[in-house]
Chain A
Amino acid sequence: MKKLQQRIRPWLVKYFALPSDVILELPRITIIGQLHVYIENHQGLETYSDTELRLKTNKGFIQILGSSFVLKMMLPEEILLEGTITEVKFISE
Chain B
Amino acid sequence: MKHKQGSFIRGYVTVQIKGNRPELFFQKCMQAGILVWDIKKTGDDLCVGNVKLSDIKKIRSIKRKMDYKIQFISKKGYPFFIKRFTRKKQLMVGLIMSFMLIIFLSNIIWEVRITGVPSDIEEKISKQLNNYGIHSGAWIFTLESPNSIQQQLVQDVPELLWVGVHQKGTTFYLEGVEKSIVKEEESRGPRHLIANKKGIIKNMYVSEGLPRVAVNDYVEPGDVLVSGILNEDEIEAEKEEDENSEETETNLELVTADGEITATTWYEVTVNVPLEGNYEHVTGNQKDKYYLQLGRLQLPIWGFGKPDYDEIHRESNEKSINFFKWELPIKFVTNTLSEKVNNNVERTKEEAINTGIQQAKNELKLQLGQDSKIISENVLHETTESGKVKLNLYISVEEDIVRNEPIQPINQGD
Contacts and interface: CB of A to CB of B under 8 A. Distances in A.
Contact of B37 (A45, A69, A74): A74
B41 A45 contact: no
A71 interface: yes
Interface stretch (A2-10, A14-22, A46-54, A85-93): A46-54
B14 to A, nearest CB: 13
B225 interface: no
B31 A71 contact: no
Contacts, number: 51
B37 A73 contact: yes
Contacts of B24: 45
Interface residues of A, number: 14
A75 interface: yes
A74 B41 CA distance: 14
Given A73-B3, A75-B35, A76-B31, A45 B40 contact: no
Interface residues of B, number: 21
A7 B285 CA distance: 105
Contacts of B4: 73
A69 to B, nearest CB: 7
B30 A70 contact: no
B23 A45 contact: yes
Contact of B39 (A44, A47, A70, A76): A70
Contacts of A75: 3, 30, 35
B3 A45 contact: no
A72 B21 CA distance: 19
Nearest to B36: A74
Given A45-B23, A45-B24, A48-B23, A72 B38 contact: yes
Interface string A40-64: 0000110111100000000000000
Nearest to B21: A47
Interface in B25-60: 26-27, 29-31, 33, 35-41, 47, 49
B30 A48 contact: no
Given A71-B49, A73-B4, A45 B30 contact: yes
Contacts of A76: 30-31, 33
B41 A69 contact: yes
A71 B33 contact: no
Nearest to A81: B39
A49 B41 contact: yes
A33 B336 CA distance: 78
Nearest to B27: A45
Contacts of B38: 70-72
Nearest to A54: B23
B410 interface: no
A17 to B, nearest CB: 29
B366 interface: no
A74 B40 contact: no
A50 B29 CA distance: 20
Output the residue of B1, B36, B37 with the most chain A CB within 10 A.
B37
Nearest to B44: A49
Contacts of A49: 23, 41
A73 B41 CA distance: 14
A70 B36 CA distance: 12
B27 A71 contact: no
Contacts of B41: 48-50, 69
Contact of B27 (A44, A72, A73): A44
A81 to B, nearest CB: 9
B159 to A, nearest CB: 78
Given A47-B23, A48-B26, A49-B23, 10 more contacts: A45-B24, A45-B30, A48-B23, A49-B41, A50-B41, A71-B36, A72-B37, A74-B36, A76-B31, A76-B33
Interface of B: 1, 3-4, 21, 23-24, 26-27, 29-31, 33, 35-41, 47, 49
The 10 A-B residue pairs with the shortest CB-CB distance, nearest first, are A71-B39, A48-B23, A45-B27, A73-B37, A74-B36, A49-B41, A74-B30, A50-B41, A70-B40, A76-B30
11 contacts: A44-B27, A45-B27, A49-B41, A50-B40, A50-B41, A71-B38, A73-B37, A74-B29, A74-B30, A74-B39, A75-B35
